[in-house]
Amino acid sequence: MTYTAHDPRTFYAAIDARLTSTINVGGSALSIGKGEAPADAATRTPYAVRYVLAEDDDPEARGDLADPHRGTLFSWQITSVGKTEDEVLWLMQKVRAALLGWTPSVSGLQCSAIEKDGGDRIARDDGVQPPLFRGVDTFTCFAS
């Protein structure tokens, strides 16, 4: 019996690299925060925040008798933040274009193409001043 413990850091490093290498904001690579707003959030929009969501905890659907945890479903959220709805719409489209259907190349992992799992509408957040807009997409990728 084998028990695989995947290292999610290499996977999410590939996701971040994909986004920064393909999305250009005002002549610079997209600023992405990892679980929190990026350091330059106050001076630069739009930006994105990547949140790692729970991996699929259903071993019955993801493994086999020899290794119940052989496969895993990575699940993450990209929150696009901007000063205007238009900025957020622009960034969300860029993020989707960069990720949807792309197959990450990660050492030690065989990945499927990335799919969109869900998301939330664009909303104005008056909890910050001046108000910012945010939109949410969630993505998944099966890896083994």
Chain residues binding another protein by CB under 8 A are 35-37, 51, 53-54, 56-58, 60-61, 77, 79, 81, 118-120, 123, 125, 127-128, 132, 134, 136, 138
Q: Residue 61 Cβ, how far from another protein at the closest point, in Å?
A: 7
Tokens encoding 47: 């930006």
Q: Residue 107 Cβ, how far from another protein at the closest point, in Å?
A: 28
**Closer to another protein by Cβ: residue 84 or 105:** 84
φ/ψ bin of 83: left (φ > 0), alpha (ψ from -120 to 50), beta (otherwise): alpha
Burial of 99 (0-12, 13-18, 19+ CB in 10 A): buried
**Closer to another protein by Cβ: residue 9 or 60:** 60
Q: Residue 75 Cβ, how far from another protein at the closest point, in Å?
A: 8
CA–CA gap between residue 60 and residue 82 (Å, rounded): 40
Please check whether residue 4 is in contact with residue 141, taking contact to mean a CB–CB distance below 8 angstroms. Answer: no
Q: Residue 132 Cβ, how far from another protein at the closest point, in Å?
A: 5
Q: Residue 42 Cβ, how far from another protein at the closest point, in Å?
A: 11
**Closer to another protein by Cβ: residue 11 or 47:** 47
Closest to 49 measured CA to CA, from 65, 63, 38: 38
What is the 3-state composition of the chain as percent helix, strand, coil, each rounded to the nearest 5?
Answer: 25, 35, 40
**Closer to another protein by Cβ: residue 5 or 61:** 61
**Closer to another protein by Cβ: residue 20 or 77:** 77
